[in-house]
Chain A
Amino acid sequence: MSTATPTSGWHADPELLGQYLRGEAGAALGSSVEAHLLRCDTCRGRIRPLVDPAPLGDVWARIEDTVQAPRPGLLHRLVRRLGVPDHDALLLAAAPSLRAGWLWGTAIALLFAAVAAGQGGSRGAVFFLMVAPLVPVAGVAVSYGPDIDEAYEPTLAAPYSSSRLLMLRSLAILLTSVPLAALGGLLLPADNWSAWSAATWLLPAAAGVALTLAGSTWTTPTRAGTAVAVAWFVVVGAVSSPEGTTAAALLTGPALSLYAAVALAAAVVFQARSGRLAVMGRNA
C-alpha cells in the first residue's frame, strides 16, 4: 500500500500534523511527514498556524537587527578570525594607529629613513637610529585619547578598563610596526655596527613605549609620546659626532642595560598608576 501511494496529491491531514507537532507520530511516520514537508508547500502552510508565533517573532527580530547592522570592517573581521573576542576586536579596529593610512605612512617613512641611511654612510645610520625606535612610540601615542580617538567618548562611558584598552592597542601596534621597522633595518648597509643595530634598536623602542605608557597616566598619550620623541632626539643629537661613529655607543652594552632598566621602571610606574588612565580625558 505504501509503495503505491503517489507523492503528489497527497496531503497530511491536520490530525497527523498535530501528532507530528506534539511528538506523538511514530519514528517512521514522523520522518515521513518531514520528508513530505520538504516538497509540499500546502502542508508547510497547514503547519504554520499550529506553531507558537511568539518565539518565532523573537528570532525574526534578532535576524532583522543583525542583517541591518553595518558590516564589520576588514580589520575587525581579521582580528576576530584570530580568536579575539568581538568587543575587543571592535575597540582594536577603532584605533587610529591601525588604519591603513597610518601603516602606509609608517612604511614610507621607514623606507625613506633606510634609503637615506644607505646613501649617507655612517651619518645615515644615525638618522635611521633616530627614527626606528620612535615608530612604535608614535603608534602608541596615537592609539588612545580624547584628541585622536573617534571612539574615545563611547569607550570612556563603557564599563571597560582604560588601561586594558591601551595595552590591547599597544600590543597590536607593536605587532604591526615592529616588523615594518625591522624590515627597514635590514635595508641598512651591513657595515660593522649597523647590521647589529637592525635588532638592537628594539630596546630603546621598548623603553620609549613603556615611558609613553607611564606618561599617559599623567597626560594624554599624544603628549607623552611627543615628550619621549623630543627627549630621544636630544639624546641622539648630543652623543653623535659629525662622523657618526660615537652614535654606535647608543646601541652597545651599557646603554642597552640602561634602556632595559628604564623600560622596567616605566612599566612598574604604569602598573601602579593605571587607575589614573580613566580620568585622563577630563584634564586634557
Chain B
Amino acid sequence: MRGSRGNRGGDSDAALVAALGDGDLGALRELYDRHAPWLSVRLSRRCSDPDVVADALQDCFQAVWTQSGRWRGDGEVAAWLWGIAVRRLVSRLRGRRQVLVVPLDDSAAPGRTPTDVSAEERVLLGVEYGDLGAALGRLSPEMRAVVQATVLDGLTSREAGRLLGIPENTVKTRLHRAKARLREDLAVGATEGLA
C-alpha cells in the first residue's frame, strides 16, 4: 500500500503534494492518512448524509491527484485541501432538492470561550469587543449556518446557497442581518461589561 518508496512519514505535506506530480501513489496515501480524518469530520458538520460526505472526500483526493500542479507552494496544504473538499461537497449537493444540513451545535458549552478565533475572522465579522461565542450562539440556526459557510468556510454566496439549499439572495440577506445582529449584540455586551 505504501508503494516501493518506503515510509513517507517524515515528509512534509508540501513535499507529498510535490511528489504527486510524479504519479507517486504512496504520497497520495500518506496525504489521505493525514488529512482524510479531520476533513471527513468537518464535512460531516456541513452535510449529514454520510454518502455525500464520502463522495466529496473521494472527489477531493482525486482532484488533488490530477491537479496537484495547482498547488502554489505557499500556505497550509490543509487549508488548500479544505478549499477543494468543501467545493466538491457543494457541487455534489448541486441539484439536490433535499439537502440535509446539520444545524450548528446549539448547545454552546457553558464556561468555555473561544480560544482561537483568528484575527481575520474577527475583522470579517466586524467584531472588536465582546463575547463572540455567546453572540454567535444567540443567532438563529439559519443565520449561523450562513455565517459559517461564508465567513468561516470562505464560500461565495452562490456556493453557500448550494450548500444550504437556499437561493443566493437569501444568503446575502441573512448574512447582512446576521452581521448587524452580531454588531448590535456585541456592542451591548461591551457596554454592559464596562458598567
Contact = CB atoms under 8 A, between A and B. Distances in A.
Interface in B14-31: 25, 28-29
Interface in B93-109: 102, 104-105, 107-109
A5 to B, nearest CB: 5
A32 B113 CA distance: 10
A32 B116 contact: yes
B109 A68 contact: no
B4 interface: no
Interface residues of B, number: 49
Interface string B122-162: 00000000001100110100001000100010000000000
Contacts of A107: none
A191 interface: no
Contacts of B117: 2, 28, 31-32, 35
B40 A35 contact: no
A5 B66 CA distance: 39
B49 interface: no
Given A35-B152, A51-B41, A27 B116 contact: no
A59 B54 contact: yes
A29 B78 contact: no
A255 interface: no
A17 to B, nearest CB: 9
A45 B28 CA distance: 17
Contacts of B61: 59, 63
A29 B108 contact: yes
A29 B106 CA distance: 11
Interface string B33-62: 111111011100100001000100110011
Contacts of B34: 41, 44-45, 48
A26 interface: yes
Interface string A25-57: 111111111111111010011011011000110
Contacts of B152: 31, 34-35
Contact of B133 (A29, A56, A58): A29
Contact of B144 (A20, A27, A32, A64): A27
Contact of B105 (A26, A32, A39, A47): A26
Contact of A36 (B62, B116, B144): B116
Residue among A19, A47, A51, A63 with the most chain B CB within 10 A?
A63
Nearest to B50: A55
Contacts of A231: none
A67 B28 contact: yes
Contacts of B112: 26, 29
B115 interface: yes
Contacts of A39: 76, 78-79
A60 B108 contact: no
A29 B62 contact: no
Contacts of B50: 55
**Which 8 residue pairs across A and B have the least CB separation, nearest first?**
A26-B108, A28-B133, A51-B37, A27-B104, A32-B116, A28-B114, A48-B37, A27-B136
Given A27-B136, A28-B136, A59-B40, 10 more contacts: A7-B116, A10-B115, A24-B105, A25-B105, A26-B112, A31-B121, A37-B38, A48-B34, A59-B36, A59-B54
Interface of A: 1-2, 5, 7, 10, 19-21, 23-39, 41, 44-45, 47-48, 50-51, 55-56, 58-60, 62-64, 66-68
28 contacts: A1-B113, A2-B115, A24-B107, A25-B105, A26-B136, A27-B148, A28-B108, A29-B133, A32-B117, A41-B34, A44-B34, A44-B37, A44-B38, A44-B78, A45-B34, A47-B37, A47-B38, A47-B41, A51-B37, A51-B38, A55-B50, A56-B57, A59-B61, A63-B32, A63-B58, A63-B62, A67-B25, A68-B25
